[in-house]
Amino acid sequence: MANRKHWWLTALLLLMLVGTTLPAAAGNTAQSDSRTFPETGKTVSGKFLAYWNGHGGLAQLGLPLTDQVQEVSPTDGKTYTMQYFERMVLELHPENAGTPFEVQGSLLGYFYYLRNYPQVNGAPNQHASTQNPYKFSETGKTIGGKFRAYWESHGGLAQQGYPVSDEFTEVSKLNGKSYTVQYFQRAVLELHPENQAPNDVLLSQLGTFENQARTDLSFTDSTGTKVTLTKRPERIVCLVALCEDILFELGMEPVGVNDTFGQDPRFWGDKAKSFKSVGSFAAPNLETIASLKPDLVIGFIPHIGLRDALKPIAPLFVMNPAKYQDSLNFLIKMGLLTGRVYRAQQAVQGLLLEMQYYKSKSPNNKVPLLVFGRDQNFSIFTSASLFGSVLADVTNYPWPAPGAGDVSAPDQEPGSIQYSLEKILQKDPDVLLFETQGSGTKLSQILAANPLWSQLKAVQNKQVYEVNPSMYLFGRGTHSISIALQDAMHKIYPDVFP
C-alpha cells in the first residue's frame, strides 16, 4: 500500500488525525483503588478509573463493557492496554507516563464515521450549523447551537476532538429512531429534542458499537446469506481477485488462488507464484481446496452453486460489489473478522483521500466513458458500477445508473448496460477507455471497423485507450482501484496529472 501513496496523501491523512495525542486532561495520576460495576460485572482501576472519575463518569463514558485488554489501536496500529466503555474506549500510553497524555480516548468517532460512510463526501445531506457557528480550518467542519455548547462544556478538543462532519440526520442503531447528529474524532453527538436540557444532547454509544464489532464473527454476503464463523479466519482461499486485493491490504496471503492476479508486481509479484492453485475460476477443485484446510473461501456470484459442497470444508463468502463503497465495506468487514482493523481502515482512508485529491484538482471539462466487452456486443459502465462510481465521485462522468429500457450486461457486473456506437455518438465523449475481456483482438480495434467510429470525438483527438482489465475490472479492491484511478485520471487529464 505504501508504494502508491504520495506526499499529498500523507499530508491529508495527518491533517485528519490532528489531535490524536492532544492532552486528555491534567492530573491523570496513578491510583491503586478500583471499582467493580454490578451492572456489567467489569472492574475499572488505576489510571482508567482516575480518567473515568475526572471526565464525566457515567454520563460521558458510560459503564465498562470489558476488563482491561491488550489490543491493536485503530489509530496507529500499535498494541496498548485498553478498556471498552459504552461511549468511549480508553488507551493507556506508558510512553507518556507522568504527562496528561498517558490516558487517551480512541478516535472512535472518526473511524465509526469512516465505516458508516466510506465515500468521498462522507455522509449525505450534511448542513453546517448557522446558530453561533464556529468553523474549524483543520477539517472544514462547523459546530454551532446546542452541539457547540455541549462540546465547549464537556472537554472540547481534548475529549471530543475536531468535528469530522457537519450536522445531518441519522437513524440510531439503538432504537431505530432518527436524530440530528454530528461526528467528532472521539464522539458522536445526538440531539434529543424530546428530553429536557441538559439531556437534550447525548453521546452515541460508540464503545458499545465498537465492542460489538470486534467480537462479531458473522457476515452477510452479496447473496443475503448470513454466516457466523467459529474463529477468526487465518487460512483463506481466494476464488476472486477482490479477495486477493483485500488480503494484500490486510497484510495477509491466500492459501489458495485460481488465477495469477497476485503475481502483478504491484501486489506480491514473484512470491505469488508459490500460492497453491485450486483450479480455474469456472471450475475450482474442491479436493484441492479441502486439502488446504481453509477457514474461509471467498468467491464471486458464479460460485454460489458451490456453497453446499463447500460446507464440510469452509464457509463461502460471496462478494459482488456494485459500487466502490461496497468494496470498502467488504474490506472493513474482513478487517474486523481477521482482527486487522487498523490495516483495513488505513487502506480505506488512503483511497478516499486519494479520490478527494483528484476531485479537488479535476478540471471536469472532459467526458470519459468506460467500455468493456470482447466483440461488437459490448457494454458500458455507468455511474452505478464499481469503477464508474469512482469516476463519478472525482470528475465529470455523466453516465447515469441503468433505467427503464436499459438492458443489463450479460456478465453479472452491477451497473453495466449493453450499448452501441450509435448511443455513444449521441453524447460523443472526449475520452474512451476500453477494457477488452479475454485474449485476442482488442475491442477498440474491433469497433474501429464500424463506419461510425471515425465520427467520435475521442477517435479524432486520439484519446482512445485500452486499459488493464485486471485493475479496472477484476481487482475491485482499494489497491486495484487506486492503480486504475491514477491511470484513468492521467489519460483523461494528462496535463493536470502527468
Model pLDDT, residue 426: 95
* Terminal CA-CA length for the chain: 21
Q: Residues 279-297: pLDDT tens digits? A: 999 999 999 999 999 999 9
Model pLDDT, residue 144: 97
Model pLDDT, residue 407: 84
For the cut 80, the answer to whether the pLDDT of residue 410 exceeds it is no
Listed range (6-15, 191-200, 334-343) with the worst mean pLDDT: 6-15
For the cut 80, the answer to whether the pLDDT of residue 199 exceeds it is yes
Alpha-carbon torsion angle 250, 253, 259, 260, nearest 10: 90
Q: Residues 43-82: pLDDT tens digits? A: 999 999 999 999 999 989 999 999 999 999 888 889 999 9
CA 31 to CA 233: how far, in whole Å? 39
Q: What is the per-residue burial (b if ≥16 Cβ within 10 Å, else e) of 267-279?
A: bbeeebeebeebb
pLDDT band at 408 (very low <50, low <70, confident <90, very high): confident
Model pLDDT, residue 7: 35
Q: What DSSP assignment string belongs to 436-478?
A: E-SSSS-HHHHHTTSTTGGG-HHHHTT-EEE--HIIIII--SH
* pTM, entire model: 0.90
CA 321 to CA 300: how far, in whole Å? 10
Averaged pLDDT for residues 7-25: 42
pLDDT band at 85 (very low <50, low <70, confident <90, very high): very high
Averaged pLDDT for residues 253-275: 97
- Residue 131 CB: number of other CB atoms within 10 A? 11
pLDDT band at 23 (very low <50, low <70, confident <90, very high): very low
For the cut 50, the answer to whether the pLDDT of residue 230 exceeds it is yes
pLDDT band at 203 (very low <50, low <70, confident <90, very high): very high
For the cut 90, the answer to whether the pLDDT of residue 24 exceeds it is no
pLDDT band at 4 (very low <50, low <70, confident <90, very high): very low
For the cut 70, the answer to whether the pLDDT of residue 28 exceeds it is no
Averaged pLDDT for residues 286-313: 96
pLDDT above 90 as % of the chain: 84
Nearest CA among 387, 369, 380, 406 for reference residue 323: 387
Q: Residues 118-153: pLDDT tens digits? A: 999 899 999 999 999 999 999 999 999 999 999 999
Nearest CA among 335, 350, 331 for reference residue 482: 350
pLDDT band at 342 (very low <50, low <70, confident <90, very high): very high
Model pLDDT, residue 438: 83
Tell me which H or E stretch contains 485: helix 478-492
Model pLDDT, residue 488: 98
482 CB contacts (<8 Å, ≥6 apart)? Answer: 4, 350, 351, 354
Query: What cell does 293 get?
Result: 484446510
For the cut 70, the answer to whether the pLDDT of residue 406 exceeds it is yes
For the cut 50, the answer to whether the pLDDT of residue 192 exceeds it is yes
Listed range (20-34, 125-139, 322-336) with the worst mean pLDDT: 20-34
Model pLDDT, residue 78: 92
Model pLDDT, residue 396: 97
Q: With the C-alpha atoms ordered 387, 389, 391, 396, is the resulting torsion angle positive or negative?
A: positive
- Name residue, grid cell 469452509: 314
Alpha-carbon torsion angle 188, 194, 200, 206, nearest 10: -20
Q: What is the mean pLDDT of the chain?
A: 91
More confident call, 7 vs 227: 227
Model pLDDT, residue 11: 41
213 CB contacts (<8 Å, ≥6 apart)? Answer: 336
CA 320 to CA 300: how far, in whole Å? 6
For the cut 70, the answer to whether the pLDDT of residue 498 exceeds it is yes
For the cut 90, the answer to whether the pLDDT of residue 22 exceeds it is no
Q: Residues 86-129: pLDDT tens digits? A: 999 999 999 999 888 899 999 999 999 999 999 998 999 999 99
For the cut 80, the answer to whether the pLDDT of residue 373 exceeds it is yes
Model pLDDT, residue 32: 53
Listed range (10-19, 184-193, 272-281, 282-291) with the worst mean pLDDT: 10-19
CA 220 to CA 125: how far, in whole Å? 27
